[in-house]
Amino acid sequence: MNVVLIVEDEILEQDFLKTIVLENLLPEDMLLTCESGVQAVKLAKQHRPNIIIMDVMIPEMDGLSAVKEIRKFLPNTCITILSAYADFPNAQKAIQLQVFEYQLKPIKPTVFKQIFCKMLDLVAECPVSVEEKTEEKSIEHNDYQHNFIEESVKYIKEQFRERLTLEMVASKVFMNPKYFSHVFKKEMGISFTEYVINLKIQYACRLLETTNYPAYRISIECGFSDPSYFNRVFSANMNMTPNIYRKHIYASKLQD
């Protein structure tokens, strides 16, 4: 017998989740619903659900805090988190709490059905398997982050000479811009803006070394719309103006 708890304060969203869950439950299974974190903890203690669908932004006690409390007495319950916000710190907390999935709302019916069916399959196995699977999900999540950062870096290197924005790159890898920004800085060690500026300055140095282009043309070639802004950024990064950098390079070549 499965006991499923849906915690969602938006009635339309709750009804949507209930419809899909009921389609996949057996007559002997139990479905519980509530609208707050405090109610969720109370129902979890009373009915010991083996599957929980938890929204993050709920009254009285947020979803992650409720999961933390529930984990104290139901360490092996299979839990999926639903959130309307791509918040990286929350995603990290969810991983630490060994949730099965962390999904952004609105979630498509087909996607939610697939996730719920996987949860049903998982709880049919022994409790130890649940812990093993959640660890696997954490590894998969990290691999996924690494892969989409690799893809975004490749795209940035191809397009940095254009007027590239964080939103454009996040869209390219199908990520929420705020979440993408958090993960990019975590993986790369610098912010998206710093990374793009570094590529532009490196390219500007190469052009200064190998061409006779004036500074204003180099600024355009590197994707700067304002030559004076290019000069300021170059000077801040290289501790000298583009023209002085070129003179240094020319002088060093004569010495060689």
Residue 129's pLDDT is what? 46
156-168 pLDDT, tens digit each: 999 999 888 998 8
Rounded to 10°, the helix 127-159/192-210 angle is 30
37 and 106 in a single domain? The answer is yes
β-pairing, 51-55 with 101-104?
A: unpaired
Residues of the chain with pLDDT > 70, as a percent, come to: 89
Residues belonging to the chain: 256
- Which H/E stretch holds residue 138? helix 127-159
119 and 223 in a single domain? The answer is no
Q: Is residue 41 part of a domain?
A: yes
Q: Is residue 241 part of a domain?
A: yes
Mean pLDDT of 100-124: 90
Neighbours of 32 (CB within 10 A): 17
13 and 135 in a single domain? The answer is yes
Residues of the chain with pLDDT > 90, as a percent, come to: 57
Q: Is the pLDDT of residue 120 over 60?
A: yes
175: left (phi over 0), alpha (psi -120 to 50) or beta: beta
CATH number at residue 207: 1.10.10.60
Range of the domain at 91: 3-142
221 and 127 in a single domain? The answer is no
Task: Indicate the number of domains in the chain.
Answer: 2
Residue 128's pLDDT is what? 45
CATH number at residue 10: 3.40.50.2300
